[in-house]
Amino acid sequence: MKDLIMVKNSAQKRAARAHQKSRPGTSLPEALRAVDTRGTAVLPPVAADPAVPWFQSVPRRRTTCLLCGKRETVLSYSNDPSDLGRVAVYCDNERCDVRTVEVVVVRDGDLATRQRADVRVLEHFVGGPLHDPAVVSEHDDWIPGAVPWIRHGEHRYVECLWCGDETSRRSATDLLADTGRVQMYCENADCRVRETEHVVLRDGTWQTDERPDVRSLRYIDEPPIFRRGPDGRSRGFVYPRDSAIFAEDDKVARRVSTDPVDWEAAAFVR
């Protein structure tokens, strides 16, 4: 391994770096093995896995925030890369109150997607006007209750988080009354995704925290031992958050589960 890293041949090193760039996650020794001393590829380049969302395939990528319209959306620290049906994003724009947005594929031609617990939750709780209508001042780009930027024009396209093409537009079934949730549709025929729900999970307001759809998504993600009843009290002994519970917990298994959802408990989760 060591002799591979200490390669002096700059053509090979350059080619290896380029190879690494084209295939995120490749280590330098691996990349060096993939090119010869003249910098020619000796292994055929492997195409990016089409199942992996484009937005999470390269770190520090930015895209347009559907709420404020600024190119300040980054991958959220809470994103779980093992869930290929979901991407968590974060708006970095200080003039936009949006923090985390959960993006869930709700239709992609795969029946299993329709049966996921989180997809059924979003179908069950369709959302609605949770905030009073608001108008953004000259100091803001978006505040809760304001009309999302994507709804201001009829023909606005943004990059699809799965295929990366600028083919994502508002879906025909996007619910205009709900300013905290937008449904998008990808027009790219080569993209596996058709409709995605973009749910504002956090914007610093209690109205958003208490939305039944937001609560239900949190309910699914929380290890069952942390769940609280309608009285706000935990049903079990709550261990410190940094305990081994999170390490052993499999929230993605609960997200994709086809088991019935306890709607009432889900909507009451704190």
Chain residues that interact with Zn ion, rule: CB under 5 A: 65, 67-68, 91, 93, 96, 98, 160, 162-163, 186, 188, 191, 193
Question: Whole-number minimum distance, CB 81 to Zn ion, in Å?
Answer: 18
Residue with tokens 């937005």: 55
Question: Whole-number minimum distance, CB 208 to Zn ion, in Å?
Answer: 14
Question: Whole-number minimum distance, CB 74 to Zn ion, in Å?
Answer: 11
Q: Which 8-state DSSP code applies to residue 224?
A: G
Q: Which is nearer to Zn ion, 31 or 160 (CB)?
A: 160
Q: Which is nearer to Zn ion, 108 or 213 (CB)?
A: 108
Beta strands in 34-178 (DSSP E): 73-75, 86-91, 100-107, 168-170
And the tokens for 211? Answer: 């939305």
Question: Whole-number minimum distance, CB 216 to Zn ion, in Å?
Answer: 23
| Rounded Cα–Cα distance for residues 90 and 143 (Å) | 15
| Rounded Cα–Cα distance for residues 5 and 64 (Å) | 38
Angle between helices 117-124 and 212-221 (to 10 degrees): 160
91: which strand partners? Answer: 73
Q: Which is nearer to Zn ion, 35 or 87 (CB)?
A: 87
Question: Whole-number minimum distance, CB 155 to Zn ion, in Å?
Answer: 17
Q: Which is nearer to Zn ion, 67 or 106 (CB)?
A: 67
103 contacts 86 by C-beta, under 8 angstroms? yes
Q: Which is nearer to Zn ion, 33 or 202 (CB)?
A: 202
Residue with tokens 């709550």: 238
Question: Whole-number minimum distance, CB 195 to Zn ion, in Å?
Answer: 11
222-227 long-range contacts (CB < 8 A, ≥24 apart) are 222/251, 222/269, 223/249, 223/251, 227/265, 227/269
Q: How many angstroms from the chain centroid is the CA of residue 78?
A: 9
Q: Which is nearer to Zn ion, 162 or 268 (CB)?
A: 162
Question: Whole-number minimum distance, CB 196 to Zn ion, in Å?
Answer: 9
232: left (phi over 0), alpha (psi -120 to 50) or beta: left
Residue with tokens 């699914």: 220
Q: Which is nearer to Zn ion, 185 or 226 (CB)?
A: 185
